[in-house]
A and B are shown apart, each in its own frame.
Chain A
């Protein structure tokens, strides 16, 4: 009996991510959710700009590549034109919380019936480790070599808390994937975000606190510990909106 194998909603393409990058884990969780709900044939994904720009190669469903940050707007269009399709976006923090903040906030305010998977790793990965809107105070990056100084560079943005001030979203949860237990919880959250859309409940966003071993300058295992030590105190896990509850 097979206990664990690659989900069918992932293609056989080799992931281009760095060793130990948690993008791979989240890709798998999204694919497992698509498999479990049996919606592979009618799912449309929207890929972002950033490390996960080539996500369209990895999901075995229809995929669209959006302009930088515009994935929620593209998803809105697809969902409104073809409401029977399940539309999700997969975005990083540079894409969703920086250049795409406007699209994100307005899609949430409108309560679009789409699913957003948001990867927050507190840094710009693809471009080489620059400071992101989610970079922690004091965190050293390529563009904050002395650590992020909130007096000049501002404070990190907590996306779930910010969106929870709006009336539009149906479901907002922050999860992480730094150990087996948390991966299982993340799976439940992602599954729920997709299920909400199938049931027509409205805007669902799951923020996944992730690691970037390469640009954080750590081993993959140490990066997972760093999530516990540094990221989670600033980005507390939990459900920020659940219209059912």
Chain B
């Protein structure tokens, strides 16, 4: 199973990864804020992640690390 690690403190909540995810399982957090005041991205269904790294490809801030 693919594993996605999000460096939440660096995330700026731009949502480009959310738009790139082919499985539509990424969303910006509705309950969390990081130190900079952004809502970091969260993986909603970790079991559905296929590890395609589309999210990481679109992330401008290298926030996401993908393992398979």
Contacts and interface: CB of A to CB of B under 8 A. Distances in A.
Contact of B64 (A4, A10, A14, A183): A4
Contacts of B68: 1, 3
A4 B64 CA distance: 8
Interface in B33-65: 38, 51, 53-54, 56-62, 64-65
Contact of A5 (B12, B15, B65): B65
Contacts of A219: 15
A4 B66 contact: yes
A23 B65 contact: no
B53 A4 contact: yes
Q: How big is chain B's contact interface, by range?
A: 20 to 34
A184 interface: yes
A30 to B, nearest CB: 13
Q: How big is chain A's contact interface, by range?
A: 20 to 34
Contact of A20 (B54, B60, B64): B60
Contacts of A14: 10, 61
B20 A28 contact: no
B16 interface: yes
16 contacts: A1-B68, A3-B53, A4-B56, A4-B65, A5-B65, A18-B12, A19-B38, A20-B16, A24-B59, A24-B62, A179-B58, A180-B20, A183-B57, A221-B18, A224-B16, A224-B19
Interface of B: 2, 10, 12-16, 18-20, 38, 51, 53-54, 56-62, 64-68
3 closest Cβ pairs, A-B complex: A24-B60, A20-B14, A19-B12
Given A14-B10, A24-B60, A180-B54, 9 more contacts: A3-B53, A3-B68, A5-B66, A15-B60, A18-B12, A19-B12, A20-B16, A220-B14, A221-B15
